[in-house]
Structures are given as structure tokens and as C-alpha cells.
Amino acid sequence: MSHKASASSHFGQRLQQALDRTAIPAGRQRTTALANHYAIARETARLWLAGRAMPELGRLIEIADDCRVSLNWLATGRGPMLMPPFVGEEAKGYEVLSPEEQKVLNAVRKLSTRRRQGLLALLDARD
């Protein structure tokens, strides 16, 4: 296997990991959601997720930014997955969430405004 083929196959795994940090659903809906989010063909999204192709640099930058992961890690697998905060910038809350907390946050993001307000009212009532 050539280095290029290897890099792209591992890219699919890194992309899946990065997308797990977003509101883009996992599983069978991910291909369509990814295609819709980035305005690309479903086949292109499928190839990216399968690691059979990689996006161009501009799109990689956009994905890394959206997923809040290191561009270097996403593109090459080198370095840490998460970007350290810039000098003088506090670490973002999403960088310290456990996988369970990330799942809760993603579930809340999918709620309608009415249901989100209901959840907040329920949580406030527990205080």
C-alpha cells in the first residue's frame, strides 16, 4: 500500500473521530448529514468517511475548524488531536468534556427550542 493510500484510509478514521465531536450524527445518517453540511455529493462524503479519498486543503481547514481538532492531526495523523489554546486564551469547555458529556451536549443540540426550554426548566427545578 502506498503512503498516499495509507494516509487517506486512516483519514477516514480520523474524520469519524472528529465528527463524533460535532452535532453530525453517527451511523447511517452521517454520510447524508456530512454531505448536506458541506454541500458536497453523498458519494464524496461516503469516500471521505471510508478513507478512500481526502478533501482538498481548504475543505480540510474548514472541517478541522468545525470539529475543533488540529488540522495537522486531521490531515496526517501527526500531533495531538486537539489544538492547544492560543496564548492568553482559556481552554474551551468542549476540550475537557468526557465522551458521555459530549453525547449529552450533542443530544441537547438536536432538541427543538421548546424541548430544550423544558429540559432547562426541569434541571432548574432540581436546584
CATH of the domain at 60: 1.10.260.40
pTM of the predicted model over 0.75: no
Is the domain of 67 the same as that of 119? no
Is the domain of 75 the same as that of 39? yes
What is the secondary structure of 47-81 as a DSSP string? HHHHTS----HHHHHHHHHHHT--HHHHHHS-S-S
Burial class (CB in 10 A: 0-12, 13-18, 19+), 88: exposed
57 located within any domain = yes
State the total domains in the chain: 2
103 located within any domain = yes
For residues 51 and 68, what is the distance between their CA atoms, to the nearest angstrom? 20
Q: Is 21 helix (H, G, I), strand (E, B) or coil?
A: coil
pLDDT tens-digit map of 28-44: 899 999 999 999 999 99
Is the domain of 105 the same as that of 71? no
DSSP assigned state of 88: T
Is the domain of 39 the same as that of 77? yes
pLDDT tens-digit map of 67-107: 989 999 999 999 899 876 655 555 554 455 667 777 787 77
Residue 29: which residues within 8 A CB-CB, separation 6 or more?
none
92 located within any domain = no
Q: Are 4 and 52 in contact (CB under 8 A)?
A: no
pLDDT tens-digit map of 101-125: 777 877 777 778 888 888 888 888 8
Is the domain of 49 the same as that of 107? no
